Amino acid sequence: MTDKKIQSVDQATLEMIEKSHQDGCSTVFDRAENMKPCPIGAEGSCCKNCAMGPCRVPINKSKEETPEDHNKRKGVCGATAETISARNFARMVAAGTAAHGDHGRRVTELFMAVAEGKAPGYSIKDEQKLLQLALELGVKVGDRPNNEIAKDIAEILQKDFSRQEGELNFIKRAPLKRQAVWRQNGVTPRGIDREVVETMHHTHMGVDQDYQNLIKQATRTALADGWGGSMIGTELQDVMFGTPSPVLSQINLGVLKEEDVNIIIHGHEPALAEILAVVSQDPVMIEYAKSKGAKGINLVGMCCTANEILMRHGIPIGGNFLQQELAIVTGAVEAMIVDVQCIMQGLTDVAQCYHTKIITTDERAHITGSTFIHFDELNAIEISKEILKMAIDNFPNRHKNVRIPQVKTDMIAGFSHETITYLLGGLFRASYRPLNDNIINGRIRGVAGVVGCNNPRVTHDDVHVTLVKELIKNDVLVLQTGCSAMATAKAGLMLPEASKFAGEGLASVCETVGIPPVLHLGACVDNCRILTAATAMVKEGGLGDDISDLPVAGCAPEWMSEKAVAIGHYFVASGVYTIFGVTWPTVGSKELTDYLFKGLEQSLGGKWDFEIDPYKMAQKMIAHIDLKRKALGIDKSRERVLYDMAMRRDLEK
């Protein structure tokens, strides 16, 4: 038992793991102990793309591989370790892109319904973002009503899903040089669906058997995520629900309230959560909750849906990915309402130990043992009330074993690209200039995007928190999304007071602007906000012509999902050095791994890397940032001196 890994650095998580054992209930932490990862699958050396296999071609790690050994590592069809590994990698990118693309499609459909006045409960909340998109997409504004403008925008963006030729609309948002790089490399995405379908075809048995060409198609597909599906989802959500602006809230399981009906909304698409946020405040519903013996209704978010409603409504977050079952273990959750992505099937088993109802709401994601209530966005209010009522009715069924860990932390979220621009200059001088200037003068060394999931194969939250602390200590401003953002928020890094953990230069800038050194930019789909911010940095000037010139780096330290691979690959394809932790899915092929870690940089300007240790991760990211600073000629810090008249006269002499 002595070498047993610490399961989490989060006190609330450890407390609830212990309670789950007392209650005789097993969670992801126990399942991960009992189910070790398959070593052949983990390195990408297993192919099951036809019935002559599955074929396993693992690398021999005990000795250096000879060309003869390598030649023997082939599937029945002759597929090499390179082909097999590249196909597996490309399929991960396709699955991730499909998930974000389908999210974007649903949002576009709802947006069209709102524009046509067919979705009561939703409206166009953010005229500024609507007009912004109209200008970007060439939609006439004039005196036209918002819904007419919205309809035109929906029609234009809908075509991005099914387009067969040409380019996605948001490709034009990227720096000019980046667009040229994509065109030269033949990786500019056409339609989101087309790229996903083509990747599935490339990777079918007996089709594409050149690992570089497979990665080329994976690149095109990943770009259809970052500059396509994800960006469409994020932008249209902003128009309907509001562009995030700074909001104070709280995070961790301690936000659950013993006397209230606790309802957790978990998943990714914010359409249902937005309505629940409103309906849960309805005095009639609150009275109904009181009639069942509760004091009120407490709506709490989990995973990326949590990020969405936190940023726009200040709804508190219960926890990140690995805490979803533990929220139920508190015994205080009446209902967990889920839609799509990152929802563990283990939830229904855990729920059986308590009284919690698992309510699935999306036709695409049923779970055996859950209660399904189809969420129809055109009848959103009525269905939300029905779901809420079901949760309230469950309050009297609570068992005696209720224990809510008294652990919660304040946090500030809501730093969209638009808000960052405003915060840096106000309404009259909104600009990225102060950021670029402070990077040039060295107060800020660079910018890092730290994103992604949790993974029980490493100590929960530890890699996120250690890495981010190390980065800010070295004057690197950190932008975060997803479960990674939640990990550092729980550690108190998303408050202005956290500048005490930052290096002197970064702290001085954060204190002047009044922002934390770690900025919350939203859910995983909002990683595209980081692309927009990076583009604005390039366009502002002084830091090169392209995203690949910027002193920036990306990281997903505790990744687990296929979406993370798609996100990582669109960052690489956009020119960013991107490092993953936990495990690397192509180690079965040295040639392919070398290509991803070194070769891609020559054509795309970005590259992958892999490291488990958070300190080494930080060192690698900082080394890359320093390399970019050197290339820009800003490697020596220069203080700006304000010259008064006497100093000027001295100069003139």
Partner 1 sequence: MNEILKMKAPNRPEVEVLGPTYEEGTPQGETTGKWSNKLSSRAEILKYLQTGQRYFFSPTNEGFGSEKRKKPA
Which residue ranges make up the site for ligand SF4 (CB under 6 A)?
47-50, 52-55, 75-77, 79, 84, 205
Shortest CB 50 distance to ligand SF4, Å: 3
248, β-bridge pairs: 412
Residue 442 touching partner 1 (CB under 8 A): no
Q: Are strands 357-360 and 371-372 parallel, antiparallel or unpaired?
A: parallel
243 vs 466 by CB, closer to partner 1 = 243
Residue 623 binding target from ligand SF4, partner 1, none, CB below 5 to 8 Å by type: none
15 vs 526 by CB, closer to partner 1 = 526
Residues 542-581 that bind partner 1 (CB under 8 A): 542-546
Q: How many CA atoms lie within 13 A of 450 on its CB side?
A: 36
The residue to which tokens 């209650």 are assigned = 23
Running DSSP on this structure, what letter comes out for residue 93?
H
Shortest CB 305 distance to partner 1, Å: 21
Buried b / exposed e over 316-348, threshold 16 CB at 10 Å, is bbbbbbbbbbbbbbbbbbbbbbbbbbbbbebbb
**Distance from C-alpha of 506 to C-alpha of 446, rounded to nearest angstrom:** 10
Beta strands of 398-517 (E only): which ranges?
409-413, 446-450, 476-481
Residue 421 touching partner 1 (CB under 8 A): yes
Residue 53 binding target from ligand SF4, partner 1, none, CB below 5 to 8 Å by type: ligand SF4
Residue 407 binding target from partner 1, ligand SF4, none, CB below 5 to 8 Å by type: none
**Residue 452 near residue 486 (C-beta atoms within 8 A):** no
Residue 541 touching partner 1 (CB under 8 A): yes
- # of chain residues touching partner 1 (CB under 8 A): 43
Residue 77 binding target from partner 1, ligand SF4, none, CB below 5 to 8 Å by type: ligand SF4
3-state DSSP call for residue 552?
Answer: strand
Residue 278 binding target from ligand SF4, partner 1, none, CB below 5 to 8 Å by type: none
- Torsion sign across C-alpha atoms 25, 29, 34, 40: positive
Residue 425 binding target from ligand SF4, partner 1, none, CB below 5 to 8 Å by type: partner 1
Shortest CB 60 distance to ligand SF4, Å: 18
Q: Where are the alpha helices (DSSP H) in 454-595?
A: 462-473, 482-490, 504-513, 527-540, 562-573, 590-594
Shortest CB 639 distance to partner 1, Å: 4
51 vs 641 by CB, closer to partner 1 = 641
Residue 243 touching partner 1 (CB under 8 A): yes
> Which region among 193-201, 318-326, 416-424, 572-580 touches partner 1 (by CB under 8 A)?
416-424
What's the token pair of residue 369? 């043992």
**Distance from C-alpha of 377 to C-alpha of 110, rounded to nearest angstrom:** 7
Residue 127 binding target from partner 1, ligand SF4, none, CB below 5 to 8 Å by type: partner 1
Q: 191: Cβ–Cβ under 8 A, 6 or more apart, which residues? A: 159, 160, 161, 162, 163, 164, 168, 224
Residue 128 binding target from ligand SF4, partner 1, none, CB below 5 to 8 Å by type: partner 1
Q: Which helix (H) or strand (E) holds 334?
A: strand 333-338
**Distance from C-alpha of 48 to C-alpha of 40, rounded to nearest angstrom:** 12
284 vs 641 by CB, closer to partner 1 = 641
205 vs 495 by CB, closer to ligand SF4 = 205
Residue 126 binding target from ligand SF4, partner 1, none, CB below 5 to 8 Å by type: partner 1
Listed residue (377, 333, 376) closest to 355, CA to CA: 333
Residues 174-193 that bind partner 1 (CB under 8 A): 175-177, 180
381 vs 430 by CB, closer to partner 1 = 430
Residues 88-127 that bind partner 1 (CB under 8 A): 126-127
**Distance from C-alpha of 248 to C-alpha of 250, rounded to nearest angstrom:** 7
Residue 152 touching partner 1 (CB under 8 A): no
Binding site for partner 1 (CB under 8 A): 126-128, 131-132, 135-136, 141, 173, 175-177, 180, 243, 245-248, 414, 418-419, 421-422, 425, 427-428, 430-432, 514, 535-536, 538-546, 639, 641
